[in-house]
Structure 1
């Protein structure tokens, strides 16, 4: 992700100012039988629909401090709704290795253990990122040799601990600028572009079964950045260094989301490099306050984005960056914006929820039934 307000050491999400739906708004709830004929049953549960559409999962990120909310966990723990979980913060470097070679896996275990208990896929996040680093890494007096050893040690210890438990790891996160140049970080400034090879090669050796991903934002449509990431994939593969996937974070803005067609083509372009793809951190923020107009557009944008993944064979699934507005990172970073998820503060569903259902139920195609629905 770009940035999380939950960099607080306590890992407790800060409740955000959100809006609740008004009962007079149309299409807050669809009629029975959405997507399939007959009884509703599981026909509006996202992971169930995703699997029927040929995807591996539909999932969500979550964080430790959110798990004391029973109304929230009643939804989170339903693997028919969310068949995959990502720890928002608990596996990041500042929590895992706060002091050099002193490892503490406690924070990261919470969501992992929950996923195991619920029978949900665990998607692990993240190994090498310029943000949420402990100061000893960010401000160290490094040589190429000493920092290389630190990176190898961190990846080795972390992947050894979770070996066999993670479907995928985001090995490197957000390493490119928008123009396709390398982001200046402690890793790039000391190691140069060799740190990509170092990280992926080490990860491949330690956990040969986990899918190894490069993950970034603004990878949803063709740009200099997407071309740079595709070039990275080809470079690693040419050197016989394993990279299995690219994660398009999909932190998007209502009304400015790339078209369905552009997103489909872009995902196909990544798949053509020989990797799978996933939407890894989806949310679509809007300008507050919410109203019928921006909620309707948000539903369209969510539908088009999820439908793009469904339409591309090599896109394995979609993860939303938490499903509940009060736990979203957006209002703490983007003043005046929010309501980026699928559930309002009172746990009623955004119209966008039904946009996602529509995309999954239609198998990525544009359905012919009327939309929006009215009660």
Structure 2
């Protein structure tokens, strides 16, 4: 097996010398979530470091590191004026996620008034990127005020019907619009959606009615179930029969309780069918993690989280990967940049790999701020960091 990977890496290195690239990056305004429960790890020194030098044509290309699955990135249309950013995105990645443009509050800030941004989908079409991941339909955060107030004085079944209608109509309009966006082969450009996002607390309980309007009005599990049921029915009615539907969350890697709760919920969802098809296709591990997270083992570890999601038999997407510095060393951080893709390839069967998406491109764009150095590229210059080569090698070796 080792010989196989060494040969593959050698062969890939020969191939990638023909590729040429300029550098670039992205932005984020994601809300910080949850209790991070840091776990101290010993400093682990790696030998596969590279100097923090500007990108040049002889560097390897991430999307070519492993052709078995896609390497994606979240992008923000607010960065499109930066050519370093856009050149890097279109050269390095073959899947993109809209960081904010496709969220509920961005699309339907006022009831029944839809604003569909096309910056991200047009960027994909114009640059030969044939996969966009939709993010996100149902989220407890970023909910417009009108949704919270929509029930008025209604009670009982009447009130539930109001919120079922809001959910159904939103999915219908969103899916209908993005179904019209086609890739270079004439197929729907948006290949997948995070249908439900962050329904659980770190201790494995559902978010409370006070923090999650969908749970309050429809029931914690029923809200998620209905979102997936509506999504499958609407996609099939549109003819978007290959659309993949995901549950997305964070914390799998530091809370066994949360990973187990997600496992149980998605296993319950996957036996529900519409038109003889399961209503859920996959699960996303956001993996907003740090240089102190435990990597291997059966307790609150990256290995446990990935392995648990693979055991669902569903598609597995590392959907929002960044690794912040939180004490410790860059060596600790690089160790995780290498081992997260390595564990993904080891634990997730090939047929279940939906890919790895980074959040975001460079430190200047990451939602946590420049100081945490959570991405592959240095701020402003987008010079590659040692994280870049370690991530590439984790994908490849």
Task: With the length of structure 1 as denominator, give the TM-score of the two structures.
Answer: 0.79
User: 2:307 pairs with 261, 264, 268, which one?
Assistant: 268
Residue in structure 2 matched with residue 126 of structure 1 by the alignment: 136
Is the aligned partner of 1:341 residue 2:375?
yes
Tell me how many residue pairs correspond in the alignment: 318
Is the aligned partner of 1:232 residue 2:269?
no
Q: Is the 8 A contact 2:164 2:218 kept in 1?
A: yes
User: 1:201 pairs with 210, 229, 233, which one?
Assistant: 229
| Pairs within 5 Å for 1:1-375 | 5=29, 27-29=49-51, 44-51=60-67, 54-55=68-69, 57-78=70-91, 81-106=92-117, 109-120=118-129, 121-141=131-151, 143-163=159-179, 164-184=188-208, 185-192=212-219, 193-207=221-235, 208-220=241-253, 223-240=256-273, 241-259=278-296, 262-287=301-326, 294-311=329-346, 312-313=348-349, 314-331=352-369, 337-345=371-379, 346-362=381-397
Alpha carbon RMSD of aligned pairs, Å? 2.4
* 91-100 vs 309-318, greater mean Cα deviation: 309-318
Residue by residue, what CA displacement relative to the aligned partner does 1:167-226 show, whole Å, maximum 9, x if unpaired?
Answer: 110000000111111112100011002111210011111223211000000123661111
**Cα distance between partner residues in 1 of 2:281 and 2:116:** 25
**Cα distance between partner residues in 2 of 1:305 and 1:91:** 27
Q: Is the 8 A contact 2:254 2:293 kept in 1?
A: no
**Cα distance between partner residues in 1 of 2:383 and 2:52:** 13
**Cα distance between partner residues in 1 of 2:366 and 2:88:** 16
SS of the aligned residue for 2:387 comes to: helix
Residue by residue, what CA displacement relative to the aligned partner does 1:214-269 show, whole Å, maximum 9, x if unpaired?
Answer: 00001236611111111111211233241000000000011224338853453333
Q: Is the 8 A contact 1:58 1:82 kept in 2?
A: yes
Q: What are the ranges of 5 or more consecutive residues in structure 1 without an aligned counterpart?
A: 8-25, 32-39, 363-375
User: Cα distance 1:328–1:260, how it changes in 2: closer, same or farther (>3 A)?
Assistant: farther
User: Cα distance 1:71–1:260, how it changes in 2: closer, same or farther (>3 A)?
Assistant: farther
User: Cα distance 1:248–1:27, how it changes in 2: closer, same or farther (>3 A)?
Assistant: same
Deviation at residue 43 of structure 1 after TM alignment: 6.9
Task: With the length of structure 2 as denominator, give the TM-score of the two structures.
Answer: 0.75
SS of the aligned residue for 2:190 comes to: coil
**Cα distance between partner residues in 2 of 1:70 and 1:260:** 42
**Cα distance between partner residues in 1 of 2:58 and 2:270:** 41
Residue in structure 2 matched with residue 10 of structure 1 by the alignment: none
Residue by residue, what CA displacement relative to the aligned partner does 1:245-302 show, whole Å, maximum 9, x if unpaired?
Answer: 00000000112243388534533332332311010000001148xxxx7222211111
Deviation at residue 136 of structure 1 after TM alignment: 0.7
SS of the aligned residue for 2:329 comes to: helix
Q: Is the 8 A contact 1:295 1:350 kept in 2?
A: no
